[in-house]
């Protein structure tokens, strides 16, 4: 889910479908839209010499796509052994139950309502499948249940909708909260600075090879938008709708409902911090 009302993005490379790192392959879902960019990235992740793969975000309930994900693993000589979710939005999670049926896998997610099987997923968990190691990084903000997965062997992080390959993400108020989101971006920044993560494998859009630059851009964008919203309120724009019409005036109106969620999150943050 994107907030395409971003500051101009710098040109960035990266693939949309196919291998992105030694261990991560993308299968792009056919659900492109203003809100999902080129479509949802479904990630098939495995050790090169392992016959077991982990799938992150099966994507929408699209039988052809779900079967394409199974096929992509099979073509590499692998069987899907586990399904993980970055969060519960339907463009990531709607196909999970059917995908679990096709592959006979469990589904692990932070939100118990999304799980299939008895295993959850949360802070500090390390998922190990066939020698592959994925470290769970809690990153609430886009939604309360958002997680990222650190893939240390490839110096990469799978970010779901917390960081996208293009544009910026929505803070989906009231479930998503701006204070949480800023903390999560700082947590990701420390992964890039302290743990040597270079590559962002996002839930939508192309792969980013400058993970630290991307996170810094997101933090700067959020600060810029917050200042704009604060100024708009000082100038007399009161309701979320009025603030959107002013701050997002140059943005396609089809994105205003999403922008309004972010504005509501920003107004809540400014009120909580005594700034308006
Ligand atoms: Zn989402």
pLDDT band at 11 (very low <50, low <70, confident <90, very high): very low
Q: Which two tokens mark 24?
A: 């991560």
Ligand 1: centre distance to CA 89 (Å): 5
Q: What is the DSSP track for 237-256? A: --SHHHHHHHHTTTS-GGGH
Ligand 1: centre distance to CA 36 (Å): 9
Ligand 1: centre distance to CA 39 (Å): 12
Which pairing describes strands 168-169 and 2-3: parallel, antiparallel, or unpaired?
Answer: antiparallel
Ligand 1: centre distance to CA 196 (Å): 26
pLDDT at res. 13: 47
Ligand 1: centre distance to CA 87 (Å): 7
Ligand 1: centre distance to CA 77 (Å): 31
pLDDT band at 9 (very low <50, low <70, confident <90, very high): very low
Q: Give the CA distances from residue 194 to residues 80, 97, 181, in Å, rounded to whole numbers and listed in that order.
A: 31, 36, 20
Distance of CA 249 to the CA centre of its chain: 26
- Enumerate residues with CB within 5 Å of ligand 1 (an ion): 1, 89, 161
Ligand 1: centre distance to CA 134 (Å): 20
Ligand 1: centre distance to CA 162 (Å): 8
Tens of pLDDT, residue by residue over 238-270, are 999 999 999 999 888 999 999 999 999 999 999
Nearest to 166 by CA among 15, 18, 37: 37
pLDDT at res. 135: 98
Please determine, for residue 3, whether its predicted confidence score (pLDDT) is greater than 90.
no
pTM, two decimal places: 0.93
Ligand 1: centre distance to CA 169 (Å): 8
Q: Is 75 exposed, middle or buried (0-12, 13-18, 19+ CB in 10 A)?
A: exposed
Ligand 1: centre distance to CA 177 (Å): 13
pLDDT at res. 35: 86
pLDDT band at 2 (very low <50, low <70, confident <90, very high): low
Q: What angle do CA 112, 116, 118 make, to 5 degrees?
A: 75
Tell me if residue 211 falls in helix, strand or coil. helix
Tens of pLDDT, residue by residue over 56-90, are 999 999 999 999 999 999 999 999 999 999 999 99
Ligand 1: centre distance to CA 142 (Å): 7
Ligand 1: centre distance to CA 159 (Å): 11
Please determine, for residue 4, whether its predicted confidence score (pLDDT) is greater than 90.
no
Ligand 1: centre distance to CA 2 (Å): 8
> What average pLDDT score do residues 168-176 get?
95
Tens of pLDDT, residue by residue over 26-45, are 999 999 988 899 999 999 99
pLDDT at res. 12: 41
């Amino acid at each position: 889910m994107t907030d395409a009302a971003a500051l101009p993005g710098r040109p960035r490379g990266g693939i949309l479908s196919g291998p992105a790192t030694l261990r991560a392959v993308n299968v792009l879902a056919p659900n492109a839209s203003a809100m999902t960019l080129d479509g949802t990235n479904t990630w098939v992740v495995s050790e090169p010499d392992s016959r077991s793969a982990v799938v992150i975000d099966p994507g929408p309930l699209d039988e052809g796509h779900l079967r394409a994900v199974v096929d992509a693993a099979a073509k590499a000589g692998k069987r899907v052994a586990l399904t993980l979710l970055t969060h519960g939005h339907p463009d990531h999670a709607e196909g999970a139950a059917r995908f679990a049926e096709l592959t006979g896998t469990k589904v692990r997610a932070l939100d118990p309502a999304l799980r299939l099987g008895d295993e959850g997923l949360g802070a500090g968990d390390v998922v190990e499948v066939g020698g592959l190691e994925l470290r769970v990084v809690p990153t609430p903000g886009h939604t309360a249940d958002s997680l990222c997965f650190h893939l240390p062997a490839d110096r990469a992080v799978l970010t779901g909708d917390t960081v996208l390959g293009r544009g910026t993400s929505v803070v989906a108020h009231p479930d998503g909260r701006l204070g949480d989101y800023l903390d999560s971006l700082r947590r990701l920044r420390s992964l890039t600075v302290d743990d040597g993560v270079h590559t962002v494998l996002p839930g939508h859009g192309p792969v980013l090879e400058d993970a630290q630059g991307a996170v810094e851009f997101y933090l700067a964008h959020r600060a810029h938008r917050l200042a704009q919203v604060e100024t708009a309120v000082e100038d007399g724009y009161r309701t979320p709708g009025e603030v959107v019409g002013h701050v997002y005036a140059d943005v396609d109106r089809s994105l205003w409902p999403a922008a309004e969620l972010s504005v509501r999150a920003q107004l809540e943050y400014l009120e909580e911090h005594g700034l308006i």
